[in-house]
Structure 1
Amino acid sequence: FTMARGRVIAALAVASIGATTAFAPSPGRSIISPSQFKSTGFVVSQQEYVHNAATSATKLFMSTPAASPMDRLSDGVIKAISYSQDASVNVGLNTLESEMLLVGMVRSAGANDIEARKILTSFGISPDGALKAAESIIMEMYPGSTATAQGSSELPFSPAVKKALSDSVAIAERMSPGSDVLPGHVLLALLEYDDRYKVATEDVSKCAALAVLKKTTEDSPVARAFDGTQFCRNLASDMQNKVVANGAQVTEIREREVIEVGGNAGGSTPTLEKVGIDLTEMAKEGRLDAVYGRENEIRMCLRTLGRRRKSNPCLIGEAGVGKTAIAEGVAQVLAGGYYVFDDKGENGGGWGLRNPFRNKEKESEKTVAGMSQEEVDKLPPLPPCPRALQGFRVVSVDMASLIAGMKFRGDFEERIQKLIQEASATPTILFIDELHTLIGAGGGGGDGGMNAANLMKPALARGEIRVIGATTIAEYRQYIEKDGALERRFQPIMVNEPSVDEAIEILNAVSPRYEEFHGVRYTPFAIDAAARLAERYVADRFLPDKAIDLIDEAGSMIKLEDDGEQDDLPEDFFVVTEENIATVVSEISGIPVGKLDRDEKAKLIRLEQDISDRVKGQDSAVRSVSKAIRRARSGLRDQTKPVATFMFCGPTGVGKTELCKSLAQTYYGREKDIIRIDMSEYMERFSVSRLVGAPPGYVGYDEGGQLTEAIRRRPHSVVLFDELEKAHEDVLNILLQILDEGSLTDGKGRTVSFKHCIFVMTSNVGSKEIIKISRGENP
């Protein structure tokens, strides 16, 4: 094993030192054997070569406190790398490629871990099969390579192998902090598994390890095709609770070394690292989406953060409008711009800075994995990072993490004080989503008790810490405004709902991530339909959140059908179309949107016939209703008002209610989409509160209004006010506002939209005169 570790150190030395020594090649070039050195004027033996490489590696690693991946690699990984190097030499390679590294990791994981062996077997993966598949792929890629048993087996690592080993350390740290890197971690890294989103890459052309495993399972008795994401999820679940390979003693030694270097366990900000998420670091890793349409809000946040005192912006807006995205945009500004992965750069590529709207002339052209050059150039502009904020980071903190683990009185206050001290002593900006949770967190309530808000007020007022808060309008009014001392320490920034066009731009930006996750492709018409239909039919939520949910749901629907019958699917099945989006909207809103969009013209043309099939002898009324509906649906109406409003007068039993039911069935697709309100129950003046809800302080305030709650649940309905003449005149005033403005504010201050409703009012007034006229008599 000592020899295997020495060989790996030598390979790492060649990969790390590059041209700084006479015996090591430049980065990206193949290693040359000792015999080849003679032709270049160097005379060196095999032993000297390994000795010099290992010695230089040791010096290099000892010179940096943050030790190399060697300090984290377990014995199993070291042996697997050594085996992979031998196998690479046998097939004539002069660098260790990811295909052969995969073979070694499969061999090691299957030999040392019973559960991992079961997972490999269930997918039809064996070490021999993987080796044959890797050799076959390598022979196709390098037809001139020949098997040989000679040459150095201290092969340098290819860029893909270096990246996989680096990623495996990060995966192991997130799964079990302080643990060693096991073969399973390297397998997850080779398959580019994102343990945060639980998804692995599905692009065989960009992932050599995936190509090997797919080829391995072609001749396997396992019937189903290899699913990289499912394999990684099973393996990650098994790895999650693994014990550190070398025991607790190694962990304790490593922790002591960290204390000696950094001064304290966990670095200079252990509390922040325990309860927070570094958004700036996520931005540098390319894990944050680009922010569209929020340049002004980001600029206002930066301006507030640059103030001498009370430098704390508070983002206020409805749920789903993009408050968190603005905070992520600030983190991207502080990180210096957008970070995207360059798979064609030097040393095999890596994460690099990319902000095409700043210093564009100084940046080299890049080919970005997962994004075309045109898409990269369309990234929205970010404002420049102010000089006063350069070097700062944004750390997201939530109250649940702060409170978790508190057992005794004073523990919470102590943690808050440590948080304030670390944030004030380092260039850190705290981002607190759901800012109102500060009030009452830790006990004491909002009336002067020692809760989180009161503990942070002094530091906020003195400008010792910078905080970005986010909350909704209702919660800001309910909690923050009532605490005047806390309110004056924040600068409110209103975040309004984006328009449909802005929502389409946002969807175009985020759709590639959903395409990769679901394995589908969204057409431009599907993106447009998601924003348009979400705005039209999902009335109780806000853009862009509700539109993003539509494309996510549609992608999941297509993927679910894919899992059912893979072999019988046409080639274009994995494309999400406008019809798929309409189907999802239909299930959410309860109205057959897809049918209306496809057959709407035909439906409107035969509207009279469809209604007349149920309502007989009322041809004049049916024609009047049909004309009004066609006129409204053609766009010749105010989009903020109800679709149509009708007044049906006549004696009992002539078909007024039946015409309403037929209208609901024909227009909305379901007869039950009718809300009937008997106006004889609203004869008193106080009955108005039954429609819109009782005001604060009265009985029934939490129940809501009968009309407003019914419309919030079913915004696409026929609303029937039966026997209108019996209602109190104050009730009629409410109806006037609904018909004139198309909206109404309920008892809780929420605005309810009636723009997708059809209103029908019935009355028996003048029924005797109507009968006389129908008989030809003089009324």
Structure 2
Amino acid sequence: MAESQDTIHLDRYTQDARQIVSGAQQVADERQHQEVSTLHLLYRLLERDRGVGEVFRRAGADPNEALSLADASLKKLPKHPGAVAYLSARLLDLLGRAEREATRDKAKSVGVEHLLNALAQEIRGPAGDILSAYGIGPGAFRPHLGALEAAAREAGAGAVVVNESSPGAGGAGAPGQATGFVRDLVADARQGRFDPVIGRDLEARRLLQILERRAKNHPLILGEPGVGKTALIRGLAERIARGDVPSNLAGAHLYELDTGALVAGAKLRGEIEQRLKQIVDKLRADQSAESMLVVEDFDALFGQGVTGAGVGELLKPLLSRGEIRIIATSTPEGLRKINERDSSIVRRFSTITLEAPGIAQATEILRGIATKYEAHHRVRIGESAIAAAVVLAKRYISDRALPDTAVDLLDETSARKRVEVDGVPADLDLLSRRAESLRAQIAALADDDDKLSVQTRGRLEKELAEIEPRVQEMRTRAASRQGVVAAIQAIRKELVDAQAALKVAQRDRVFARIGELEHVTLPEIARRLQVAEEAAQREGVASSSNAVTEGDVAATLGDWTGIPVAKMLEGEAEKLLKMEGRLAQRVVGQDEAVRAISRAVRRGRVGLRDPGKPIGSFLFLGPSGVGKTELAKALAEFLFDDEQAMTRLDMSEFMERHMAQRLIGAPPGYADSEQGGFLTEAARRRPYSVLLFDEVEKAHADVFNLLLQVLDDGRLTDGRGRTADFSNTVVIMTSNIGSKRILETDARLWSTEDGREAIRDVLLEELRGFFRPEFLNRIDDIVTFKALSKDDLRGIVDIQLRRLERLLADKEIKLALTDEAKSRLVDLGYEPSLGARPLKRAITKELQNPLAEELLAGGYKSGQVVQVDVKDDRFSFVKA
């Protein structure tokens, strides 16, 4: 079957099974994952095949919920942009099991049913965890595979499935009927299935205006993923259900096309067009009311190869004649794909562009839908949680737009709180899993007698002895808390039922029942509820334990991104006031540079800047190795809580004119036009980040023309016409211009304000000889870095030694240097023209090399302290 780790031949597979396996690879490519795993296969099965969903449902698993779990697990996988996904060993193993299943069934080809049986045998990994959560194990799908054949017959025949008429549909044969590929959104709206639509009034009115046009009355809603295209259409369905529309649209039906079901299983050329034509003919034949077809992700109909052309030829006359109206959604990228396949189809639509809402509008949207999530999760969502969800999602989640990211964050945080209150607390769960892990490791080492195994077993047994009493105590406390919470919930339900009974008795004027309820039943229930709540307080169960707070939101985002919660929630004012001290912990000897950066950032954060421009733009001048790049990294960590929130572009790579184009990407039609530009894509992926242009004086003049637009307008248009926003970035450019003047400057000049101004004036003259005035005029501040003195290097020694200690931490070895040893390192590493880099080389040569040799020779043991001193101008290492 498999020739290597990343190739596989699917000749023996049915068309459907081949599409699912290749679809799994497509999912991995779209999400920029390095390998195709069983999780990708599970996701594709649930997403694309209706029969598979029915098999899961019959096996006791909700397919939509399982799809959501698979999607959440996929989002946690690391991304590798540009990588070509290969089949993982576990997926190859699964495909091998599927082939064996087919052989056992004496089938000529491996089908979807064999993939399902092989998947049910998956007991490890993310896919196995999802299946285990529903109790699905080997053989669980086998009794339910008949659902696949039923779905295949239905799809192959292209039959129209007539549903029971929805409320207001008018009975059999009425517009409430739907084909097997569509659902009536207005009927869903009447049943209250949609969240309220808030803050899109202008776009909703424009949508109605387009639908009322005589020609080109087909709306195409454009927007980035997550901006609310689907919500806008749901809002239209709500308006129609309420009758809040013009008379021409009263009683209209919105039929949403299931694009995935339409495309799934299509084996022959023209089969998709045939299915679509059947749907259109059915809706067009219905004259009882206006019927509109909703097509989300319109570009998905225009597939690869020859498929898209047929769909376009089918839709063009339909759109021109206006016999049935189509409401479509797409992204700017999807629109570009449609234009490439059939540009005439787009001209028949009227476009509505949805921009991502701002912080204030997104907060209103979340505030409006919070009650739905409170009812679903049975929690209380406070205003602080809503505000935190919007602000943190905007800052840290860049792959999708508001409000979708904030809604996702609030939804999972509410689920997290529900699990915390109703299930096993997170700290108990973590400790229990650790105890189980320790027991398994101890059991594995039980029969090993070598010295290292005995030491390791002793350490593990000691940790387990410390954990087990805590686990037992926490279990007892958790069981007691759950009992108290359950009792309170039961009494509250009893109170609600009694109050409802009282209203009925008052309505029916049953006076005996009224007296019993008012004077006996309700007082007794209230007394029991008070006793239960007092018991809850003694158990430490606060009445606010089910309230979602900003700390909960930050904790969820911390799980997603790995950014510490404390950093995300740190008060902005307190953080900015401590900025100099925080930056100085990493950058030594450049106090004036740190102060200049801090002043500019504070000015921008309190709103005293142009909101369209970057947070700050700086030109760092100074010799090599004095801390220019290190300050940029420190600034990224301080502002955005992540040192990796920095894009570094080495301008020596952009010395040629044709290389400057790579910053914004090649125009459509040129090679690599699909990849986008280095600079624009960096801003799009991380809108909150530091942009570092290293050695900017080496760049071609065309690069400076692009930078002028970034510094002045805070925006840049890439080769494909998409706009990248730089208003939340800090732009830093480094240069070695004037380094010789800085090195020749008397150190005393740096200690006075007048001296620093004199140095700055001299450097500015040199800069004017190289950079154009309009470029220098757009930079917020020119920051000058002085040459490092020996005292400065002494502080850098301590920083470098702390990093070395972190490298030795896993070996449990500590390093202790005397003052003489540190001074000796400073002497060896002092070179004014080269900055701190010679010091790093001295530490590597004099400390790290001898330590590495001794560690390899087994000279140091765990827990030892190595004391380093200087004797006869040589470093000596003593084990303490």
TM range (shorter): 0.5 to 0.7
1:439 aligns with 2:299: no
Distance 1:286 1:239 in 2: 37
Please state how far the C-alpha of 1:397 moved relative to its aligned partner.
Answer: 0.8
8 Å CA contact 1:530, 1:551 repeated in 2:
yes
Which residue type is aligned with residue 603 of structure 2?
A: R
Query: What does 1:294-313 correspond to in 2, within 5 Å?
Result: 294-307=200-213, 310-313=216-219
The answer on whether the counterparts of 1:650 and 1:764 sit within 8 Å (CA) in structure 2 is yes
1:693/1:593 Cα in 2 relative to 1: closer, same or farther (>3 Å)? farther
> Residue 505 of structure 1 aligns with which residue?
364
1:628 aligns with 2:628: no
Give the drift of 1:764: 2.0
CA 1:238 to 1:739, structure 2 compared with 1: closer, same or farther past 3 Å?
Answer: same
Could you list the per-position Cα deviations for residues 561-590 of structure 1 after superposition, in whole angstroms to 9, with x for gaps in the alignment?
A: 443325467433322112222344455566
Once the 2 structures are TM-superposed, how far is the Cα of residue 474 of structure 1 from its aligned partner?
Answer: 3.1
The corresponding residue for 1:350 is none
Instruction: Judge conservation of contact 1:591–1:668 (CA < 8 Å) in 2.
Output: no
Establish whether residue 554 from structure 1 lines up as the match of residue 417 from structure 2: no
Distance 1:302 1:505, change over 3 A: same
- Tell me which of 181, 195, 214 is aligned to 1:289: 195
Structural mapping, 1:116-515, within 5 Å: 272-307=178-213, 310-336=216-242, 384-406=244-266, 411-426=271-286, 427=289, 428-440=291-303, 444-446=306-308, 449=309, 451-480=310-339, 483-515=342-374
Matched, 1:747 2:610: no
- Aligned in 2, Cα 1:723/1:519: closer, same or farther, shift over 3 Å? same
Matched, 1:692 2:555: no
Distance (whole Å) between structure 2 residues aligned to residue 444 and residue 424 of structure 1: 26
- Secondary structure class of the residue paired with 2:335: helix
Paired residue type of 1:437: A
Q: Distance in 1 between matches of 2:275 and 2:604?
A: 61
SS in 1 for 2:707: helix
Would the alpha carbon gap of residues 621 and 273 (structure 1) be closer, same or farther in structure 2, given more than 3 Å must change?
same
- Output the CA distance in 2 between the equivalents of 1:744 and 1:328: 34
Asked if the contact 1:316/1:493 (under 8 Å) is kept, the reply is yes
Aligned-partner residue type, residue 452 of structure 1: V
- Say if 2:744 is the partner of 1:772: yes
List runs of 5+ in structure 1 lacking aligned partners: 1-173, 178-183, 200-229, 245-254, 338-383
Shift of 1:412: 4.2
Alignment partners' CA distance in 1, 2:355 and 2:317:
31
CA contact (8 A) 2:302 2:341 kept: no
- CA apart distance, 1:176: 8.0
Deviation at 1:480, TM superposition (A): 4.8
Question: Structure 1 residues 505, 722: CA separation in 2 closer, same or farther (over 3 Å shift)?
Answer: closer
1:520 aligns with 2:379: yes
Query: Which residue of 616, 621, 643 corresponds with 2:615?
Result: 643
Q: For 1:524 and 1:499, locate their aligned partners in 2 and report how far apart those are by CA, in whole Å.
A: 17
Deviates more, 1:656-665 or 1:507-516: 656-665
Q: Report if aligned partners of 2:613, 2:711 keep a CA contact under 8 Å in 1.
A: yes
Distance 1:276 1:605, change over 3 A: same
Q: CA deviation at 1:591?
A: 5.4
Report Cα offsets for 1:520-573 as digits up to 9, x if no partner.
Answer: 221012112222333344445322212212212322333444433254674333
Q: Contact (CA 8 Å) 2:211, 2:217: kept in 1 or not? A: yes
Equivalent residue, structure 2, for 1:703: 675
Q: Which residue of 2 aligns with 1:731?
A: 703
Q: Which amino acid aligns with 2:261?
A: S
CA contact under 8 A between 2:567 and 2:641: conserved in structure 1?
A: no
Structure with the larger helix share: 2
Change (3 A) 1:774 1:176: closer
> Do the aligned partners of residues 334 and 321 (structure 1) sit closer, same or farther apart at CA in structure 2, a change above 3 Å counting?
same
| Partner AA of 2:675 in structure 1 | E
The Cα RMSD (Å) is: 4.3
- Deviation by residue 1:324-371 (Cα, 9 ceiling, x = unmatched): 22222222233235xxxxxxxxxxxxxxxxxxxxxxxxxxxxxxxxxx
SS across alignment from 1:761 = strand
Deviation at 1:688, TM superposition (A): 1.0
String of CA shifts for 1:223-257, please: whole Å, max 9, x gaps.
Answer: xxxxxxx9x9889x99995999xxxxxxxxxx9xx
Question: Compared with structure 1, are the counterparts of its residues 587 and 736 closer, same or farther at alpha carbon in structure 2 (3 Å cutoff)?
Answer: farther
Q: Per-residue deviation at 1:323? A: 1.8
Superimposed CA distance per residue, residues 55-88 of structure 1 (whole angstroms, 9 cap, x where no aligned partner): xxxxxxxxxxxxxxxxxxxxxxxxxxxxxxxxxx
Displacement, 1:671?
Answer: 3.9
Contact persistence 2:551–2:565 (CA under 8 A): no
1-structure distance, mates of 2:266, 2:656:
55
Deviation at 1:297, TM superposition (A): 3.3
Q: Runs (4+) of structure 1 moved beyond 6 Å?
A: 174-177, 193-199, 232-235, 237-240, 268-271, 776-779
Distance 2:256 2:586 in 1: 60
| 1:484-515 residue CA offsets vs partner (Å, 9 max, x unmatched) | 54234323233333343332222122222222
The answer as to whether partners of 2:413 and 2:552 remain within 8 angstroms in 1 is: yes
Aligned mates of 1:465, 1:688 — CA distance in 2: 49
Does the 8 Å contact 1:271/1:419 carry over to 2?
A: no
Change (3 A) 1:630 1:524: same
The AA in structure 1 aligned to 2:424 is G
Q: What runs of 5+ residues in structure 2 fail to find an aligned partner?
A: 1-51, 68-130, 148-158, 166-170, 426-477, 482-539, 750-757, 763-880
Q: Which amino acid is 1:289 matched to?
A: D
Counterparts in 2 of 1:386 and 1:706: CA distance versus 1, 3 Å: closer
Contact 2:568 2:641 in 1 (8 A): no
Deviations 1:293-327, CA, capped at 9 Å, x for gaps: 33343344334434555542222222222222222
Q: SS of the residue aligned with 1:564? A: coil
Match of 1:609 among 581, 588, 600: 581
What pairs with 1:524-539 in structure 2 (closer than 5 Å)? 524-539=383-398
- Identify if the C-alpha distance between structure 1 residues 515 and 590 changes in structure 2 by more than 3 Å, giving closer, same or farther: same
Q: Indicate how the Cα distance of structure 1 residues 570 and 239 shifts in structure 2: closer, same or farther if over 3 A, else same.
A: farther
| 2:629 aligns with one of 641, 646, 657 | 657
